[in-house]
Structure 1
Amino acid sequence: MQNFSIGIIGAGHMGLALASGLASRMAPERIVVSDPHPDKRQRVHDLGISTPADNDSVVTRADVLVLAVKPQGMRDLCAAIAPRVRERRPLIVSVAAGIRAADIARWLGGGPAIVRAMPNTPALMNAGVSVLWANDETTPGHREAAATVLGAVSEVFWLTDEALMDAATAISGSGPAYFFLMVEALAAAGAQLGLPRDLSAALAGGTAAGAGRMVHDHPGEAALLRARVTSPGGTTERAIKSLLSEGFMEMLGRAAQAACDRSRELGEQLGAA
């Protein structure tokens, strides 16, 4: 699928991020975005992208159709655009957490090619990661097109088992919030130790950003990086021992399991006939 056109329904944070990333890599004329809110359409329009208010105009012009709406709105959206989708037969890319491809296909009618994608909020800064899974109706060209769309704002990783999308949602989809919470806690701890709040927040945020860059540049080596800065008998070792004794690893495991369970529940609840 070369020189394909892209339609995005939903101009919230993720829809806007995708539109912005794509507009920097291809002619904006190949992109069309709809959203019921005029202010969101205006932000996309400022990128030089066509922004009709109605979804049918997007479906009609799209070879790749990105459904960037919340899970709770996916069923109604699919029902509304189903006739046009059956006529046009675009590749469907869903970024809704938990919603299974079989349910999307049922709501759209027929057997469309579907790629489920789970990007995360750093995509807003072209620094995200996205996990993708494709159904049996997709072709190699479809997969390449989906990777191009998500690759405009993130690194792309593929799964071969759709059931693992819930786990990916728990780790990368929800994961940024875990780190934001940790930065909040670290900044609060610095303030309790006597640092000015603004300085403590800057130190915590800057440290997280630098550590994140190191982990990104050395994939799979987080334990090694930690060991390198944990001198025997030093301050870091004392802190790490305190965290581990309080069940830090188990706590994160429980948090990820809770997010995974909720993603699965959303799929079951919203996909029920």
Structure 2
Amino acid sequence: MTATDPKIVFIGGAGNMGGAVIGGLLAAGYPADRIVATGRDPQKLAAFAKCHGVAAHSDTLAAIGDADVIVLSVKPQAMRDLCTGLRSHLDGHNPLIISFAAGIPLAAYRRWLGEHLPIVRAMPNTPALVQTGATGLYAGAGVTAEHRAITERIANAVGIFLWVREECEINQIIAVAGSAPAYFFLFMEAMIEASVASGFARADAERLVLQTALGAAKLAMASEEDVAKLKRNVMSPGGTTECAVKRFEQGGLFHLVAEAMRDCAERASEMERELDR
């Protein structure tokens, strides 16, 4: 692997997540001539490459020939066919493989790609699209310190990252970060609908709710206090906030969130069994 700027080939690079990571890397100063994007749609791929100044290749097999890192950014259902098609072209070649797909265990990648390859499972989330993502990482056998360093460089380009020690913990990452943007969007949606029902114009409700969500997140990240204390800071005894928070608590919000996150992680485990074939 090239020590300074390894050549990274993004398979599915013109898609949302691959494109977000490429954009983040470029914004962080990664050289465009060390990035290649591949994809099935030649027109979309060409437009993406022109916009970002990276190389584009519609022939994936040709593109991976001298890759130091191959990022698999395709849907889980397409992963088996992709990997089995790559296998014979990776014999004698030992690039780092980073997969963005949920629900596919390392054992499956080893069967499809070969036992010799170093593989990292990465679970980014959609805020990576605006460089505020959170990515869970798990390193398989053969992943070196150098491999970890380039993986961290890629993950850092779109937000923060967390390495987990056990592969099963990736499913917990999915529950707490990978799927979690939808939880917050759901809560925002509920607040917007309640505001509209109370008489606000939808545009005004959206503006107020989204700005408040952004402000709360920024305040939490900037503060040395935990979120429970920040919650209490907003609450005056017998006041309006306390009244609203009590309603959430009486409605079983904590229990409901815990159940939802457990369901999410269990579904991720089910997907692993379904896709590990």
**Contact 1:99 1:267 (8 Å CA) reproduced:** yes
SS of structure 1 residue aligned to 2:168: helix
Moved over 4 A (4+): none
Q: Which residue of 1 aligns with 2:154?
A: 149
**What's the TM-score, normalizing by structure 2?**
0.95
1:174-221 Cα shifts (integer Å, max 9, x gaps): 000111111111011111111121111111111111111122223771
> Unaligned 5+ residue runs, structure 1?
none
**What's the TM-score, normalizing by structure 1?**
0.96
1:140 to 138, 145, 162: 145
Q: Which residue of 2 aligns with 1:255?
A: 260
1:119-160 Cα shifts (integer Å, max 9, x gaps): 111111111111111012111001001111111111111111
What are the residue-to-residue correspondences of 1:28-107 with 2, within 5 Å? 28-41=32-45, 42-107=47-112
Q: Which residue of 1 aligns with 2:8?
A: 6
Q: Which residue of 2 aligns with 1:193?
A: 198
Distance apart, 1:86 and its partner CA: 2.5
One-letter amino acid matched to 1:144:
A
1:49-80 Cα shifts (integer Å, max 9, x gaps): 11111211231131011001111111111001
1:32-62 Cα shifts (integer Å, max 9, x gaps): 0101023431224310111111211231131
What are the residue-to-residue correspondences of 1:155-194 with 2, within 5 Å? 155-194=160-199
1:27 to 9, 31, 46: 31
SS of structure 2 residue aligned to 1:87: coil
1:208 to 207, 213, 223: 213
Return the alpha-carbon distance in structure 2 between the equivalents of residues 147 and 177 of structure 1. 25
**Contact 1:130 1:150 (8 Å CA) reproduced:** yes
1:239-269 Cα shifts (integer Å, max 9, x gaps): 0100111111111111111111111111110
Return the alpha-carbon distance in structure 2 between the equivalents of residues 113 and 235 of structure 1. 55
Aligned-residue CA RMSD (Å)? 1.3
SS of structure 1 residue aligned to 2:135: strand
Higher alpha-carbon deviation: 47-56 or 84-93? 84-93
**Contact 1:19 1:44 (8 Å CA) reproduced:** no
Q: Which residue of 2 aligns with 1:119?
A: 124
1:181–1:84: structure 2 CA closer, same or farther, 3 Å change rule? same
SS of structure 2 residue aligned to 1:32: strand
**Contact 1:114 1:135 (8 Å CA) reproduced:** yes
Number of matched pairs: 272
